[in-house]
Amino acid sequence: MSESYSQPVGDAKRQQLSRFILITCISLISFFPINILLPSFPALAVKFDTSTAEVALSISLFTLVFAISQLIAGPFSDKFGRKEVLLGCIVVSTLGSIGCVLATDYPTFLLFRAVQAIGCGFFVLGHALVEDLFEEQDRARIRIYYMTLSGSFVALSPLLGSWLQTTFDWQGSFYGFAVMALGMFIHACLILPSKTASPERAPVSIIATLKSIAGNRDFIRYWWIAALVFACYFALISVTPLIFMDHMTTITLLIPMLISALAVTLVRPAAISAAMLLFSSSAGTAASAGNSIMFFTAAISSAALAQAGANLLMTIAISFIVFSIWGMVTNARVGR
């Protein structure tokens, strides 16, 4: 465990539980900008006088901006401290969420979605905090636990999103994000030490670390496996409204979604843990680089699917097969 977080505060089990809750909250809040918003696509299209396909494409825009923002958040957390960067990002993302609620036209809505995405760079700190807060032998287990909870939340998110849409209209998911972000802000203030209260780490050049990461083939391969698995799942949920427009039933959609969620829950934690172990001393930068691979892949895949038109279902099926074979080939090459 990192020395920065080695000092016990109160009961050890309570402290571990408190840390796990923070990690889990970072994972769960990541569903609000995308998953929880899905039932509100038709309402957004009506509100801003645009098409459902255009609203679906905005998910890709959000993901691309987010992928860039996490490239900044991770390295900054190595340099300035996890707590400082986490709290700052929460503030920015909350302001973006509130701005979306107050938007009166679609370009303004997209602008504040971009602001929200910039702040949401703190999502990447979940992986870095696992490296900081837990022993090496516990990290894969912790990731499996909180990603399993995330998988359960995925299953429940359409119901929650529908309830928020019914109760608060399309603004509901943004209200939910802001409330959860406020709770996480308070929780992080209480359990994470500031940079000035932690022992100084040896200064490491961010550029040098990125070069080292880019040159490590196993690191790239582990994250590429995680990216391929996540891209299948993300691309599927991002085009869900378009699938229903093609009259696909809930049952036939639920089966591939459950398979994708199961793959994400089982494969991604193991691949990410193995990758992060290679650069645990620069966990923020490593997590940023890896997550960028994953989310750029997901964003490009979902954007391509959104343009598939009448061939959408066949394109999804072929993509699942190709990505699965690609992942198995990549796994076979790890360690060579």
Q: Structure tokens of 119?
A: 């702040």
Picking from 98, 105, 45, 62, the residue whose alpha carbon sits closest to that of residue 238 is 62
**Which domains does the chain show, CATH number per domain?**
3-333 (1.20.1250.20)
Contact 52, 45 (CB under 8 A): yes
The alpha helices in 39-135, defined as continuous H runs, are: 41-47, 52-80, 82-102, 106-119, 125-133
Give the pLDDT of residue 138. Answer: 81
Q: What residues contact residue 64 under an 8 Å CB cut-off, 6+ apart?
A: 296, 299
The predicted model gives 197-219 an average pLDDT of 72
Distance CA 209, CA 201 (A): 14
Q: Structure tokens of 302?
A: 């979902």
Amino acid, single-letter form, for residue 122: F
Phi-psi domain of 247 (left: phi exceeds 0; alpha: psi -120 through 50; beta: other): left
Residue 3 pLDDT > 50 = no
- 110-114, 129-133, 252-256: which is most confident: 110-114
Mean pLDDT value across the chain: 81
Amino acid, single-letter form, for residue 212: S
Q: Structure tokens of 160?
A: 């929650």
Give the pLDDT of residue 79. Answer: 85
Residue 8 pLDDT > 60 = no
pLDDT 10s digits, 21-56: 999 888 888 878 877 888 888 899 899 988 877 887
Neighbouring C-beta atoms of residue 166, cutoff 10 Å: 10
Picking from 80, 60, 85, 55, the residue whose alpha carbon sits closest to that of residue 70 is 85
Give the pLDDT of residue 198. Answer: 47
Distance CA 121, CA 28 (A): 14
The CA radius of gyration of the chain, in Å to the nearest whole number, is 19
pLDDT 10s digits, 279-328: 887 888 888 888 888 877 877 877 777 677 677 777 777 887 888 898 88
Q: How distant, in Å, are the alpha carbons of 62, 66, 170, 251 from that of 101? A: 16, 19, 8, 33
Helix (H) or strand (E) holding 227: helix 217-238
- 204 band by pLDDT with thresholds 50, 70 and 90: low
Residue 7 pLDDT > 60 = no
- 211 band by pLDDT with thresholds 50, 70 and 90: confident
Contact 244, 313 (CB under 8 A): no
- 9 band by pLDDT with thresholds 50, 70 and 90: very low
Give the pLDDT of residue 201. Answer: 53
Distance CA 32, CA 34 (A): 5
Q: Structure tokens of 181?
A: 């972000």
Residue 197 pLDDT > 60 = no
Q: What residues contact residue 303 under an 8 Å CB cut-off, 6+ apart?
A: 57, 60
Q: How distant, in Å, are the alpha carbons of 15, 23, 304 from that of 59? A: 36, 24, 12
Distance CA 68, CA 289 (A): 10
Residue 203 pLDDT > 60 = no
Give the pLDDT of residue 238. Answer: 65
Lowest mean pLDDT among 37-41, 101-105, 198-202, 329-333: 198-202
pLDDT 10s digits, 218-270: 999 999 998 888 887 777 766 666 555 555 565 666 677 677 777 777 788 88
pLDDT 10s digits, 152-180: 776 677 788 889 989 999 999 999 999 99
Give the pLDDT of residue 246. Answer: 53
DSSP helix/strand/coil, 200:
coil
Neighbouring C-beta atoms of residue 277, cutoff 10 Å: 16
Distance CA 256, CA 233 (A): 9
Three-class DSSP labels, 251-299? HHHHHHHHHHHHHHHHHHHHHHHHHHHHHHHHHHHHHHHHHHHHHHHHH
